[in-house]
């Protein structure tokens, strides 16, 4: 408990409104936790793989990683640091409720609004892909576990569509990387135009791969949506410096509608990735 006690002492008076926990990347389990129980409920749900990735971020940056979480009417500060003990490397998370200190406790009437506005701006930066303006991989890591949990809790189906642009390397080789970037940016707009705003979301998973989450969507409708996207991309003419570029996309689809069993994020992503791979194997420009 030495590490936790040290962190709590550093927080001083804030520790009464915060929580600290230690996560093990090997098991994916919480090794130790102490602090305010209501606040600890806002700790993000992380898989063993995600814990390892967060530790890697800390080590790469060389400094603790700090996030702001807007939970209902609360403004929370999450600090993460990777450290090594005799039991190996682990991830320490400290979650502090700074609402009264940072957000509302201010003499200016509009200062709270300004703080929240700035928080929203910073939050958008951390979860937005620079090229396409879509959500990024960090958003997927943060949001997907929450949506899956809500799906099971509410017993409403959730579908995930994995999209991959076919023969993307050829675009870069023939037209140049700037053209490839332009195609990805325009493709992002097509994907966005085919989702229900406020209910679904699209994120760039990495490279030319995109993840589309469809809340309260059964499998048949998800496949129909993916098919509509496939046709829309195939028929679209991408223009770059007076050159017409024609592309296609392959799609993998999975639906969570069995609420009696757990659905680990890693397994869900692995399954939909395999279906995308099957689409590629069948000649591309296919929905599986």
Q: Longest C-alpha distance within the chain, in Å?
A: 65
Q: What phi and psi values does residue 282 have, to the nearest 5 degrees?
A: -85, 5
Cβ neighbours of 3 (radius 10 Å): 15
- Identify the bridge partners of residue 81 per DSSP, sorted by sequence position: 92
133 Rama sector, left if φ>0, alpha if ψ -120 to 50, beta otherwise: left
DSSP secondary structure string for all residues of 78-139? EEEEEEEETTEEEEEEEEEE-IIIIII--SSTTHHHHHHHHHHHHHHHHHB-TTT-SB-HHH
d(CA 265, CA 209): 17
> Per the residue annotation, which of 33, 53, 72, 208 is the catalytic one?
208
Query: Taking the CA atoms of the chain, what radius of gyration do you get in angstroms?
Result: 22
**Helix, strand or coil, per DSSP, at residue 72:** coil
Cβ neighbours of 122 (radius 10 Å): 12
d(CA 15, CA 111): 25
**Helix, strand or coil, per DSSP, at residue 260:** coil
Residue 72 among the catalytic residues: no
Active site residues: 208
């Amino acid at each position: 408990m030495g590490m936790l006690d040290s962190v709590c002492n550093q927080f001083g008076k804030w520790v009464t409104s915060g929580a600290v926990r230690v996560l093990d990347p090997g098991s994916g389990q919480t090794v130790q936790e102490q602090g305010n129980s209501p606040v600890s409920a806002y700790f993000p749900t992380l898989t063993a793989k995600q814990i390892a990735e967060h530790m890697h971020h800390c080590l790469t940056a060389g400094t603790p990683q700090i996030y702001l979480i807007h939970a209902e009417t609360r403004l929370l500060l999450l600090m993460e640091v990777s450290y090594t003990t005799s039991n190996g490397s682990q991830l320490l998370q400290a979650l502090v409720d700074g609402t009264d200190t940072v957000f509302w406790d201010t003499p200016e009437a509009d200062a709270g609004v300004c703080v929240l506005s700035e928080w929203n701006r910073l939050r958008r930066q951390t979860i937005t892909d620079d090229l396409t303006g879509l959500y990024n991989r960090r958003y997927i890591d943060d949001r997907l576990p929450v949506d899956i949990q809500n799906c099971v809790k509410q017993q409403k189906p959730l579908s995930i569509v994995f999209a991959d642009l076919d023969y993307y390397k050829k675009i870069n080789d023939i037209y140049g990387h700037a053209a490839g970037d332009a195609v990805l940016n325009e493709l992002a707009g097509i994907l966005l135009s085919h989702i229900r705003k406020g209910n679904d979301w699209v994120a760039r998973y990495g490279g030319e791969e995109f993840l589309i989450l469809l809340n309260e969507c059964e499998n048949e409708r998800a496949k129909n949506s993916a098919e509509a996207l496939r046709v829309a991309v195939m028929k679209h003419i991408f223009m770059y410096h007076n050159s017409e570029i024609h592309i296609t996309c392959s799609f993998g689809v999975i639906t969570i509608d069995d609420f009696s069993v757990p659905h680990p994020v890693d397994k869900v992503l692995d399954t939909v990735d395999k279906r995308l791979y099957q689409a590629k194997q069948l000649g591309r420009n296919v929905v599986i």
